[in-house]
Amino acid sequence: MIRLENVKRIYTRHGQTVTALQCENLCISAGEYVAVIGPSGSGKSTLLSLLGGMLSPSSGRVWLDETSIYEQSVVARSTIRRERMGFVFQTFNLIPYLTALENVQVPLGLNGVSLPDQTARATAMLQRFGLADRLNHKPSEMSVGQQQRVALARTLVNDPQIILADEPTGNLDPTSREVVLKAFDMCHEEGRTIITVTHDATAAARAKRRLVLNEGQISEELSSFAKVA
């Protein structure tokens, strides 16, 4: 379970204090599929970064099960992210000089997996996303949709319990978007926790729970996505 307890994130801009996020209590149970929706600048990416151990709150605690994430050392937080979380970004963050296969092997190498096992697991994951004929292609040699599928394969290859996605379908054509959303559906069926930030009504509708963020305040969705996006 992930829990926010009296969390506040404050920025100072041009001498003014801005509250990017304020949340007294938020619980996300293991295995939930949650979409976070709301207008630009409402705090969605701030929330995702806090949940992912990448942005410490100004006050309050972020819990992962019985662990208060930001009371751990930087090394311990990095280990939590590497062993339990997978991240999907709109910008993909693929390494441009590596092939699709090599990009997917990167997290396996960081976890000490042997090279033969890296190759076998990365190949199987790319085949799962219909990229068997793109193993040796670099990102510049693939379409946007193919790059996102490589990024998703890289996220899933270490079998993370928690998937955090920031606008994962934002730049995709309808076919590639459906591939990504079907992968999320499957991950949810397998019992993984999925938290996705999105402006995409189709993507939000696939989630089983929707949170609305507005001016840093979180609420459960009470109306249709179209009325809050």
- Please report whether residue 136 resides in a domain: yes
Percent of residues, the chain, with pLDDT higher than 70:
97
Q: Which residues touch 9 (CB under 8 Å, ≥6 apart)?
A: 19, 20, 21, 22, 43, 46, 50, 55, 57, 58, 216
pLDDT at 87 over 70: yes
Domain range enclosing 95: 2-222
- pLDDT bin (cut points 50, 70, 90) of residue 8 is very high
- Looking at every residue in the chain, the average pLDDT score rounds to 89
At 214 the pLDDT is 86
pLDDT at 39: 84
The pLDDT of residue 193 is 96
How far is CA 118 from each of CA 84, 102, 107, 115, 129, rounded to the nearest angstrom?
18, 9, 9, 5, 17
The tens digit of pLDDT for each residue in 58-77 reads: 999 999 999 999 999 999 99
Q: Is the pLDDT of residue 9 over 60?
A: yes
CA–CA separation, 198 and 177 (whole Å): 12
Residue 228 lies in a domain: no
Give a yes or no: residue 25 inside a domain.
Answer: yes
At residue 227, the pLDDT reads 42
Q: Which of 189, 198, 127, 210 is nearest to 167 (CA)?
A: 198
pLDDT of residue 226: 42
Does the residue 109 lie in any domain? yes
Task: Decide if pLDDT at 164 tops 60.
Answer: yes
pLDDT of residue 222: 54
Under DSSP, is residue 205 helix (H, G, I), strand (E, B) or coil? helix
Burial (CB < 10 A; 0-12, 13-18, 19+), residue 203, is buried
SS3 119: helix
Give the distance, in angstroms, between the CA of residue 34 and the centroid of all CA atoms in the same chain.
11
Q: Is residue 150 part of a domain?
A: yes
What integer pLDDT is reported at residue 92 of this predicted model? 81
In a domain, 167, yes or no: yes
Structure tokens at 208: 């089983």
Does residue 157 lie in a domain region? yes
Give me the CATH number covering residue 211: 3.40.50.300
Q: Which residues contact 69 (CB under 8 A, 6 or more apart)?
A: 53, 61, 62, 63, 77, 80
The residues, any chain, with a CB within 8 Å of residue 185's CB and separated by 6 or more, are: 206
**Domain-embedded: residue 170:** yes
Classify each residue of 67-88 as buried b or exposed e, where b means 16 or more C-beta atoms within 10 Å of its C-beta.
Answer: eebbeeeeeebeebbeebbbbb
Instruction: Give how many domains the chain has, as a whole number.
Output: 1
- pLDDT the model gives residue 22: 92
Q: What is the pLDDT of residues 92-150, one digit of tens each?
A: 889 999 999 999 999 999 888 999 999 999 999 999 888 999 999 999 999 988 998 89
